[in-house]
Amino acid sequence: MRTALVGFLTGAASGVVMGFASHISFKLRLFKSSLIVIDGSFFFRTLKSPGSPLLIFGTGLLIHLVTSGIFGAIYVVAADFLGLNALSFPLVSLYVLFLWLSMLFIALPVSGEGMLGRKSGPLAWLEQLILHILFGALYYLILKGFLQQGTTI
């Protein structure tokens, strides 16, 4: 399997779990926001369309799946290009740290949630940290699983 495809599939799988964890935590009122709802709402606001709750959820899930897949692909391709071991846990951790900071200082503000996601609540940064730790752990384990099956990256 090609490097980019392995990274995309790994990122997408990890991202979907991350998205559902966010949404379930939101529904259980453990978190103040859902990444899926944020992504879907941003899409429909951009289109200047209200969107139904079901459309917002479906669109948000698809957006989260694709963006997580793209970020997952970028990681393994960049590691391969730079001659780094993509399965280095410290390297994966550093990459996920970069993703978390990007979420806090770029993605959430652009989506209308404010710097550090403040519109979602004062602890949005912590919610995002928990979700990104989950993403990083799953990403590492799934990537390792691909390698154990003999998939080359």
Task: Give me the helices (H) in the chain, please.
Answer: 3-27, 35-46, 53-81, 89-102, 108-110, 124-148
Tokens standing for 122? 């004062």
In a domain, 52, yes or no: yes
Q: What pLDDT sits at residue 151?
A: 58
In a domain, 34, yes or no: yes
Q: Per residue of the chain (153 residues), give pLDDT as tens.
A: 568 899 999 999 999 999 999 999 999 999 999 999 999 999 999 999 988 999 999 999 999 999 999 999 999 999 989 999 999 999 999 999 999 999 999 999 998 898 988 998 899 999 999 999 999 999 999 999 887 776 555
CA distance 149 to 105: 37
Convert 52-66 into a string of H (helix), E (strand) and C (coil).
CHHHHHHHHHHHHHH
In a domain, 12, yes or no: yes
In a domain, 82, yes or no: yes
In a domain, 153, yes or no: no
88: containing domain: 3-148
Number of domains the chain contains: 1
Cα 37–116–124 angle (5° rounding)? 55
